[in-house]
Amino acid sequence: MEYTIQKMARLAGISTRTLRYYDEIGLLKPARVNSAGYRIYGSKEVNLLQQVLFYRELDFNLEEIKHIIYSPQFDHEAALNDHHQKLLERREQLNQLIRNVEQTILQVKGEKSMTDQEKFEGFKKEIIEKNERAYGAEVRDKYGEDEVEAANQKFQEMTKKEYDEATLLEQQLLQRLKEVLATNDPTSDQGQHLAEMHKKWLSYYWGHYSKQAHAGLANMYVQDERFKSYYDQHGEGAAQFLRDAIVHYTR
């Protein structure tokens, strides 16, 4: 069966503007353009669009999706099985959040009590899963299953007080990075204090600290565009500066 761009958009529940953009960036091109100049999509494009929307739902960006679905190693059936597993995991997250809300309602009504740990259990699971979707493959490849599972377990057991402390320290670290960046010297006392702050922040999340792992993470800050853009929004070259400060600190 073939679809015009309007029919394809209605089928998928997206806009024709989105389909035109996907065509423009080479993510999803029509099977052909007819004599009247209209884009025509076939079953192959329907299947590809389904994959695109699955990956979008799992928070992959468009460039990552394009790389995945056009890879010579892409396996349609394996991808569907992977989507199914991840969606089951997301459903369990939502069920956890629903249970959390229900328990909180009972607490507000005076029908039960909740510890601070219980109040934030669902949210922490959601954060872990979000990080897994964004960085899980790279981090597990670099540090191994045991290290990642230990870090996730530590985060899951974190108290609200510890989480608030870690969040505040991260904000202070980013502010300090903006200030120290102007010195252009990551080996200075200021740069090394920044690296020390980063180590302290990591201690809230890592099961144990090692200089080698710290330096490895710092290198990811400049090698992975997602990390790089996160830090560089606080100043041009911020990711590189932080990386150099940490590498010097861990020698």
Separation of alpha carbons 212 and 172, rounded Å? 24
Cβ(114)–Cβ(39) below 8 Å = no
Residue 112 has a CB neighbour count (10 Å cut-off) of 11
For 189, the domain range is: 160-249
CATH number at residue 189: 1.10.490.50
* pLDDT, tens only, 77-99: 888 888 888 788 778 767 766 76
Task: Identify whether residues 107 and 143 lie together within a single domain.
Answer: yes
* Structure letter (DSSP) for residue 92: H
Task: Identify whether residues 214 and 139 lie together within a single domain.
Answer: no
Q: What are the structure tokens assigned to 242, written together?
A: 């932080």
Question: What one-letter code names the amino acid at 234?
Answer: H
Task: Identify whether residues 82 and 150 lie together within a single domain.
Answer: yes
Task: Identify whether residues 18 and 35 lie together within a single domain.
Answer: yes
Cβ(242)–Cβ(221) below 8 Å = yes
Strands (E), the chain: 3-4, 32-33, 39-41
Of residues 214, 206, 201, 203, the one with CA closest to residue 250: 214
Task: Identify whether residues 94 and 136 lie together within a single domain.
Answer: yes
What are the φ/ψ torsions at residue 188 (nearest 5 degrees)? -70, 170
Positive or negative torsion for Cα 88, 90, 96, 101: negative
Separation of alpha carbons 16 and 12, rounded Å? 10
* pLDDT, tens only, 110-153: 766 655 555 556 555 666 666 666 666 666 676 667 666 777 77
What is the number of domains present in the chain? 3
CATH number at residue 40: 1.10.1660.10
Separation of alpha carbons 187 and 193, rounded Å? 10
Positions of the chain with pLDDT under 70: 93, 96-97, 99-101, 103-104, 106-107, 111-140, 142-144, 146-148
Task: Identify whether residues 184 and 213 lie together within a single domain.
Answer: yes
Separation of alpha carbons 5 and 62, rounded Å? 20
Task: Identify whether residues 174 and 233 lie together within a single domain.
Answer: yes
pLDDT value of residue 28 = 95
